[in-house]
Amino acid sequence: MLSFPAFPADWNMDRFSERLKQLRTERNITQARLAELLDIDQRVYSRWERGVVRPHFDTIVKIADILNVSIDELAARNDSSDSNVEIKIRNPELHRLYQKVNLLSDEDQKALAIVLNSFVKLSRVNRAIAE
């Protein structure tokens, strides 16, 4: 079986632990929920945030995917932030609402994603019927 290396030695685990907690709390995700999404025990996750143990690289990739950040951003290796990412939403009202989405709880964000996905699918069906 392929084994992934531990967190690279040249990356500062103190900064990683702090950044991991910061990104999780910014997204209103609990430790328990993130552990569930990663399919691990919450105690293991808690040790990562405290810097007691290091996650394996494959897990770091999963964490970055879940938190929607790059691995470098997760590891605090660069200064990129959400303010550096320009989201193009043409409708001003949708843009205003989009800026507030990260303030929603994880559960509310999941519900919103389901609703938006339904609207997108309905729109596709309606276009297909119109053709």
The total domain count for the chain is 2
Cα distance between residue 77 and residue 118, in whole Å:
37
**What is the CATH number for 50?**
1.10.260.40
Residue 84 pLDDT grade (very low, low, confident, very high; cuts 50, 70, 90): very low
Do 56 and 116 lie in one domain? The reply is no
* Stretch 28-33: mean pLDDT: 91
Residue 56 lies in a domain: yes
CB 78 within 8 A of CB 72: yes
Residue 109 lies in a domain: yes
Do 27 and 71 lie in one domain? The reply is yes
Do 21 and 68 lie in one domain? The reply is yes
Residues in the chain: 131
User: For the whole model, what pTM was predicted?
Assistant: 0.55
Identify the CA nearest to 49 among candidates 70, 66, 35, 61.
35
Secondary structure (3-state) at 119: helix
Residue 17 pLDDT grade (very low, low, confident, very high; cuts 50, 70, 90): confident
Identify the CA nearest to 109 among candidates 17, 33, 3.
33
Do 54 and 110 lie in one domain? The reply is no
